[in-house]
Structure formats: C-alpha cells, structure tokens
Amino acid sequence: MFVGYARTSTVEQQAGYEAQLRDLKTQGCEKVFSEQVSSVNSNRPELERAIEFVREGDVLVVTRLDRLARSVGDLHRIVGRLEAKKVGLKILDMAIDTTSPTGRLLMNLVGSIAQFEREIMLARQREGIAKAKAEHKFKGRAPTARRKTSEVVSMHRAGKKPTEIAKAIGVGRSSVYRILAEAAA
C-alpha cells in the first residue's frame, strides 16, 4: 500500500499544500496524512501517525525530501523507523525509492547534499545580518503587536475580549495579554 505524507510550514502555503495532496493521490496513495506545521517543530503529529500506520511492505510517499526531514539526522531517524517496520520510502521529485539498494544510496547522498545546502544558506544569512547590523541597516523584525498597542487597549476598554481583539487585528492572543498587562502596569 502506498501511504502519503504532505506538509507545509504554514497555512499560507495553500497552493503548495494542495499540489502535494494532488501528486500523492496521482501516485496512488490510498491514505494520505497531512499537516501544516514547521519541520523545525519536533512535534509533527501526522508524520507520527503515518509512521505508526504503515505496515510491512507498505511504502511511505512524499513529494520532496524537505517535506519529510530537515536534517540528515532527522532523515536517518525516520528511515530507521521505517526500515525497522520493513516499510519503503519514495521521494517523488527525485525518483528515489528505498526499496532498492540504489534508492537507499541515492537517498543518503541527496539527504547529505540538502543539509549542506541548508547550512550554507544559514551561514550566508548570518553573515548578511551581521554586515547589515554593523552598517546600522538591520534592526530586526518590527514588533507587529506592539505597534497596535493603542488599538488593543481601546478595543479592550470598549469591552472586547482578548481573543476577539487578537482575531480582529491579526496578532496572537498572548500578545494581546502582554500588551494589556503592560498597559495596566
């Protein structure tokens, strides 16, 4: 049985999410587990459910390697769990299928290259931020919620609940509570 797994980091990535679901169905996946959470977050409940669901002889199918794992270590842990259950892994965009020795070799090579690329990208990003800070051009991300302090306070005084305020102005509920606590102090 082919079992699919789809993931995007945010709910705003709807087109990519829908494309993954479509590709997995086209590939013949009878069951698809999907979620919209960051892979940096170690809590990926649907991936866990997919790994628990698969049985000997099944193949877990993903559209791209980065939808499944963020590092070589993470990839090896997932593949190890699948191998222990005698389950294969198929990565569509690379035509990798770990049910063969060649597929397992290619998966390990590609995983190492993907991690290398990510580490290089992060190093360049850190260098760019350091340079911008040295030139006083980088001040970090603007605090979105704090810019809306007056709006939060006035809505609260008008009788709105924190959850309603958060939804209305597009900030997190915890930000609303923090703003209200600071305003009361």
Assess whether 9 carries a catalytic annotation. Answer: yes
CB 90 within 8 A of CB 59: yes
Alpha carbon distances (Å) from 58 to 18, 54, 55, 91, 115: 23, 6, 6, 14, 27
Nearest to 114 by CA among 58, 154, 65, 53: 65
- Helix 173-184 to helix 162-169 angle (10° resolution) is 120
3-state secondary structure 31-86: EEEEEECCCCCCCCHHHHHHHHHCCCCCEEEECCHHHCCCCHHHHHHHHHHHHHCC
Round to whole Å and give the CA distance between 44 and 153.
36
Q: Out of 9, 34, 39, 71, which one is annotated catalytic? A: 9
Amino acid letter at 50? A
Q: What six digits make up the tokens of 100?
A: 């063969």
- DSSP bridge partners of 96: 91
Q: Which residues are catalytic, by number? A: 9
